[in-house]
Structure 1
Amino acid sequence: MSLGIIPWAWERDVGGFGVWLDETFLISDDRLVTVELVSGYLSIMTPEEAGGYLRAWERMVALAVYGDQAVALIRGALAALDEYEDQ
Protein backbone atom coordinates (compact mmCIF):
# COMPACT_ATOMS: atom_id res chain seq x y z
CA MET A 1 0.00 0.00 0.00
CA SER A 2 1.17 3.51 -0.66
CA LEU A 3 -0.21 6.93 0.12
CA GLY A 4 -0.08 9.49 -2.64
CA ILE A 5 -1.20 13.09 -2.30
CA ILE A 6 -2.16 15.29 -5.22
CA PRO A 7 -0.93 18.79 -4.39
CA TRP A 8 -3.81 21.25 -4.51
CA ALA A 9 -1.92 23.92 -6.43
CA TRP A 10 -0.66 21.63 -9.19
CA GLU A 11 -2.14 21.75 -12.63
CA ARG A 12 -4.31 18.66 -12.84
CA ASP A 13 -3.71 18.01 -16.48
CA VAL A 14 -1.65 15.06 -17.64
CA GLY A 15 -1.32 14.36 -21.31
CA GLY A 16 -4.08 16.81 -22.15
CA PHE A 17 -6.68 15.06 -19.99
CA GLY A 18 -7.97 16.97 -16.98
CA VAL A 19 -8.32 15.14 -13.69
CA TRP A 20 -11.19 16.77 -11.82
CA LEU A 21 -13.52 14.06 -10.64
CA ASP A 22 -16.89 14.87 -9.11
CA GLU A 23 -17.48 11.42 -7.69
CA THR A 24 -15.57 8.79 -5.80
CA PHE A 25 -15.10 5.32 -7.20
CA LEU A 26 -13.82 1.91 -6.24
CA ILE A 27 -12.07 -0.22 -8.84
CA SER A 28 -12.65 -3.91 -8.13
CA ASP A 29 -11.09 -5.19 -11.36
CA ASP A 30 -10.99 -4.30 -15.05
CA ARG A 31 -14.71 -5.08 -15.39
CA LEU A 32 -16.28 -3.68 -12.21
CA VAL A 33 -16.14 -0.12 -10.94
CA THR A 34 -18.53 1.14 -8.26
CA VAL A 35 -19.22 4.87 -8.43
CA GLU A 36 -20.60 6.75 -5.43
CA LEU A 37 -23.09 9.41 -6.47
CA VAL A 38 -25.13 11.84 -4.39
CA SER A 39 -28.26 9.75 -4.93
CA GLY A 40 -26.73 6.28 -4.60
CA TYR A 41 -24.27 3.92 -6.22
CA LEU A 42 -23.67 3.02 -9.84
CA SER A 43 -22.03 -0.24 -10.89
CA ILE A 44 -20.02 -0.05 -14.09
CA MET A 45 -19.75 -3.61 -15.41
CA THR A 46 -18.30 -3.42 -18.90
CA PRO A 47 -14.58 -3.33 -19.68
CA GLU A 48 -15.06 -0.36 -22.03
CA GLU A 49 -16.73 1.82 -19.39
CA ALA A 50 -14.48 0.60 -16.56
CA GLY A 51 -11.49 1.55 -18.72
CA GLY A 52 -12.36 5.23 -18.36
CA TYR A 53 -12.08 4.97 -14.59
CA LEU A 54 -8.85 2.98 -14.84
CA ARG A 55 -7.36 5.71 -17.04
CA ALA A 56 -8.56 8.43 -14.63
CA TRP A 57 -6.90 6.54 -11.76
CA GLU A 58 -3.64 6.28 -13.70
CA ARG A 59 -3.71 10.05 -14.33
CA MET A 60 -4.27 10.75 -10.62
CA VAL A 61 -1.39 8.44 -9.66
CA ALA A 62 0.84 10.36 -12.07
CA LEU A 63 -0.07 13.65 -10.36
CA ALA A 64 0.45 12.41 -6.81
CA VAL A 65 3.60 12.76 -4.73
CA TYR A 66 4.81 10.04 -2.39
CA GLY A 67 7.30 9.50 0.43
CA ASP A 68 9.19 12.55 1.66
CA GLN A 69 7.29 14.87 -0.69
CA ALA A 70 3.94 13.66 0.69
CA VAL A 71 5.20 14.03 4.27
CA ALA A 72 6.29 17.60 3.51
CA LEU A 73 2.82 18.43 2.18
CA ILE A 74 1.15 16.98 5.27
CA ARG A 75 3.50 18.88 7.59
CA GLY A 76 2.86 22.08 5.65
CA ALA A 77 -0.90 21.61 5.92
CA LEU A 78 -0.64 20.96 9.67
CA ALA A 79 1.53 24.07 10.14
CA ALA A 80 -0.98 26.17 8.20
CA LEU A 81 -3.79 24.80 10.35
CA ASP A 82 -1.84 25.67 13.52
CA GLU A 83 -1.30 29.22 12.24
CA TYR A 84 -4.98 29.56 11.40
CA GLU A 85 -6.06 28.32 14.85
CA ASP A 86 -3.65 30.77 16.56
CA GLN A 87 -5.30 33.76 14.87
Structure 2
Amino acid sequence: MKINQGKLELRKAGFDLIGSTVLMDLVYGSQSTEKAFFNFKVDAKEFDIKRAYDEVKMFREMASAAESAEGIVSLNYKVAGILDGNMSPIYP
Protein backbone atom coordinates (compact mmCIF):
# COMPACT_ATOMS: atom_id res chain seq x y z
CA MET A 1 0.00 0.00 0.00
CA LYS A 2 1.20 3.49 -0.83
CA ILE A 3 -0.19 6.91 0.08
CA ASN A 4 1.14 9.80 -1.99
CA GLN A 5 -0.25 13.30 -2.69
CA GLY A 6 -3.69 12.42 -1.34
CA LYS A 7 -4.01 9.17 -3.28
CA LEU A 8 -4.15 5.69 -1.80
CA GLU A 9 -2.76 2.90 -3.96
CA LEU A 10 -3.09 -0.78 -3.21
CA ARG A 11 -1.28 -3.14 -5.59
CA LYS A 12 -1.54 -6.92 -5.91
CA ALA A 13 -3.67 -7.39 -2.80
CA GLY A 14 -4.96 -10.93 -2.46
CA PHE A 15 -7.75 -12.55 -0.52
CA ASP A 16 -10.37 -15.29 -0.71
CA LEU A 17 -14.01 -14.41 -1.45
CA ILE A 18 -16.91 -16.70 -2.30
CA GLY A 19 -14.53 -19.64 -2.60
CA SER A 20 -12.21 -17.91 -5.07
CA THR A 21 -8.73 -16.41 -4.92
CA VAL A 22 -9.02 -12.73 -5.77
CA LEU A 23 -6.21 -10.32 -6.69
CA MET A 24 -6.84 -6.60 -6.97
CA ASP A 25 -5.27 -3.23 -7.65
CA LEU A 26 -6.96 -0.08 -6.39
CA VAL A 27 -6.35 3.66 -6.64
CA TYR A 28 -8.49 6.01 -4.55
CA GLY A 29 -8.35 9.77 -4.21
CA SER A 30 -10.53 12.54 -2.84
CA GLN A 31 -11.94 15.21 -5.17
CA SER A 32 -13.87 17.05 -2.45
CA THR A 33 -15.59 16.33 0.87
CA GLU A 34 -18.50 14.83 -1.09
CA LYS A 35 -16.78 13.04 -3.99
CA ALA A 36 -13.84 10.77 -4.62
CA PHE A 37 -12.50 8.86 -7.60
CA PHE A 38 -11.45 5.25 -7.87
CA ASN A 39 -9.79 2.92 -10.34
CA PHE A 40 -10.24 -0.75 -9.55
CA LYS A 41 -8.91 -3.88 -11.24
CA VAL A 42 -9.92 -7.34 -10.05
CA ASP A 43 -8.91 -10.83 -11.16
CA ALA A 44 -10.92 -13.70 -9.66
CA LYS A 45 -10.29 -17.31 -10.61
CA GLU A 46 -12.94 -20.00 -10.89
CA PHE A 47 -15.88 -18.84 -8.79
CA ASP A 48 -19.53 -19.86 -8.68
CA ILE A 49 -21.41 -17.12 -10.52
CA LYS A 50 -24.69 -17.82 -8.67
CA ARG A 51 -22.93 -17.55 -5.30
CA ALA A 52 -21.30 -14.27 -6.39
CA TYR A 53 -24.68 -12.86 -7.42
CA ASP A 54 -26.31 -13.92 -4.15
CA GLU A 55 -23.52 -12.76 -1.80
CA VAL A 56 -21.78 -9.73 -3.37
CA LYS A 57 -23.92 -6.58 -3.65
CA MET A 58 -21.66 -4.76 -6.14
CA PHE A 59 -21.60 -7.86 -8.37
CA ARG A 60 -25.44 -7.88 -8.36
CA GLU A 61 -25.56 -4.18 -9.21
CA MET A 62 -23.01 -4.38 -12.02
CA ALA A 63 -23.89 -7.79 -13.46
CA SER A 64 -27.67 -7.95 -13.12
CA ALA A 65 -27.83 -10.39 -16.05
CA ALA A 66 -26.08 -12.95 -13.82
CA GLU A 67 -29.29 -13.40 -11.82
CA SER A 68 -30.23 -16.52 -13.82
CA ALA A 69 -26.69 -17.69 -14.59
CA GLU A 70 -25.05 -20.81 -13.21
CA GLY A 71 -21.57 -22.25 -13.48
CA ILE A 72 -17.94 -21.71 -12.61
CA VAL A 73 -16.32 -18.66 -14.24
CA SER A 74 -13.26 -16.45 -13.96
CA LEU A 75 -13.21 -12.67 -14.04
CA ASN A 76 -10.64 -10.11 -15.12
CA TYR A 77 -12.36 -6.74 -14.80
CA LYS A 78 -11.46 -3.07 -14.63
CA VAL A 79 -13.78 -0.30 -13.46
CA ALA A 80 -13.22 3.35 -12.65
CA GLY A 81 -15.53 6.10 -11.53
CA ILE A 82 -16.70 8.55 -8.94
CA LEU A 83 -17.95 7.83 -5.40
CA ASP A 84 -20.54 9.93 -3.57
CA GLY A 85 -20.36 11.17 0.04
CA ASN A 86 -21.49 7.72 1.26
CA MET A 87 -18.69 5.96 -0.66
CA SER A 88 -21.22 4.48 -3.10
CA PRO A 89 -20.46 4.44 -6.83
CA ILE A 90 -22.25 7.06 -8.91
CA TYR A 91 -23.61 5.14 -11.90
CA PRO A 92 -24.15 6.98 -15.20
TM-score, structure 1 length as denominator? 0.28
More helix by share: 1
Question: Which of structures 1 and 2 has the bigger CA Rg?
Answer: 1
Q: Whose RCO is larger (CA < 8 A, sep 6+)? A: 1
